[in-house]
Copies of this chain bind each other. A is one copy, B any other.
Amino acid sequence: MRILVLGAAGMVGRKLCERLLRDGRLGKSDITKLTMHDVVEPKKPEKAGFAVETVSGDFAVLGAAEKLIAGRPDVIFHLAAIVSGEAELDFDKGYRINLDGTRMLLDAVRLAGGGYKPRVVFTSSIAVFGAPFPDAIGDEFFHTPLLSYGTQKAIGELLLADYSRRGFLDGIGIRLPTICIRPGLPNKAASGFFSSILREPLAGKEVVLPVSEDVRHWHATPRSAVGFLLHAGTMDLAAVGPRRNLTMPGLSATVGEQIAALRRVAGDKVAARIKREPDPFIVGIVGGWPRNFNPKRALELGFTTAEKSFDDIIRIHIEDELGGSFVA
């Protein structure tokens, strides 16, 4: 089985590739080749049980998608995107990468010929939804994004479903919860604080909380995200039918509940490293975001999270990212 990962240098992409390298297989199929693509060259893994190719470049330019699929990957994980904050600040760049890039990829597959019909796993986002919301957003709630990023993802979902219905590819779109705790350095996503208010204190650093503690949001660990992707890459899509885009399971928690969990898992001293400094720009963006979901269909279709509580989310970060310890 040949696998292509777009956005392989991103946080989730990197973790997905690490897992594929570790497993050596996807579902029941041995991996024979993994192509890791990103706008910056993904770090080549030191050891691999199969061929690994790293490719860098802009995938939203003429001919780029055709080259990427020239080796006819059986499964394409499309994680490449301009994140929400940047897509809001740079209108043209967001549409060029998130809409045109996605469409060029789907069109390259459509026009490849020779009966080529790969599995395409598209990472969408809960940003396809826009306030006001019901208490828990159900699977049939409409998409009225309040960010260009969410608009671009909603369009990607529509294209994926239509191209799948037409038989050009076998697509499945998964709306990832906000990933928490996101490891590494802060990125340009407006949602960054949901992770940094936990990650930085655990590393002994002070951090700014830019919103109030009653902000509620929808979270899943990087470990869960990788699990969703692997399931999406292998599941039977006949059971999914024409509605190809699914909200993934997650945990709904307020910022206050996040901090309480941090206090329980790591102690008062760690939690005291959070400084409250409201930022009207972030407050404005986050005010329109979903708080809670009822992801019935995804659960029925076998998508599951690795965590049962926010304490688990913090523990998984300490285990997966910090080698089991934190700065008390």
Whether A143 touches B146, Cβ cut-off 8 Å, given contacts A151-B159, A159-B151, A162-B151, is no
Quick check: A158 and B151 within 8 Å, CB to CB?
Answer: yes
Residues on B with beta carbons closer than 8 Å to the beta carbon of A141: 140, 142
Quick check: A243 and B144 within 8 Å, CB to CB?
Answer: yes
Residues on B with beta carbons closer than 8 Å to the beta carbon of A161: 144-145, 151
Identify A158's interface contact among B139, B140, B143, B162, CB under 8 A: B143
Is A148 an interface residue, CB under 8 A from the partner? yes
Is A27 an interface residue, CB under 8 A from the partner? no
Number of this chain's copies in the complex? 2
Is A50 an interface residue, CB under 8 A from the partner? no
Name A140's closest neighbour in chain B (CB-CB).
B142
Is A47 an interface residue, CB under 8 A from the partner? no
Q: Which A83-99 residues sit within 8 Å CB-CB of chain B?
A: 91
Q: Which among A130, A144, A145 has the highest number of chain B CB atoms within 10 Å?
A: A144
Residues on B with beta carbons closer than 8 Å to the beta carbon of A155: 155, 158-159
Is A231 an interface residue, CB under 8 A from the partner? no
Is A28 an interface residue, CB under 8 A from the partner? no
Q: Which A51-108 residues sit within 8 Å CB-CB of chain B?
A: 91
CB distance from A245 to the nearest CB of B (A): 8
Residues on B with beta carbons closer than 8 Å to the beta carbon of A144: 161, 242-243
Residues on B with beta carbons closer than 8 Å to the beta carbon of A165: 146
Q: Which among A143, A158, A165 has the highest number of chain B CB atoms within 10 Å?
A: A158
Whether A166 touches B148, Cβ cut-off 8 Å, given contacts A154-B158, A155-B158, is yes
Residues on B with beta carbons closer than 8 Å to the beta carbon of A162: 145, 148, 151
Quick check: B145 and A158 within 8 Å, CB to CB?
Answer: yes
Report how far A253 CA is from B140 CA in the complex, Å. 25
Report how far A145 CA is from B165 CA in the complex, Å. 10
Quick check: B166 and A91 within 8 Å, CB to CB?
Answer: yes
Name A243's closest neighbour in chain B (CB-CB).
B144
Name A153's closest neighbour in chain B (CB-CB).
B158
- The 8 A CB mask of A143-181 against B (1 = contact, 0 = none) is 111101001001100110110011000000000000000
Q: Other than the known A145-B158, A148-B166, what 4 A-B pairs have Cβ atoms closer than 8 Å?
A: A140-B141, A143-B143, A155-B158, A155-B159
What are the 9 closest A-B residue pairs judged by CB atoms, nearest first?
A151-B162, A142-B142, A144-B243, A140-B142, A151-B158, A155-B155, A154-B158, A148-B162, A155-B158
- What is A's interface to B at a CB cutoff of 8 Å? 91, 130, 139-146, 148, 151, 154-155, 158-159, 161-162, 165-166, 242-243
A–B Cβ pairs within 8 angstroms, 30 of them: A91-B166, A130-B242, A130-B243, A139-B142, A140-B141, A140-B142, A141-B142, A142-B142, A142-B143, A143-B143, A143-B158, A144-B161, A144-B242, A144-B243, A145-B158, A145-B161, A145-B162, A146-B165, A146-B242, A148-B162, A148-B166, A151-B158, A151-B159, A151-B161, A151-B162, A154-B158, A155-B155, A155-B158, A155-B159, A158-B158
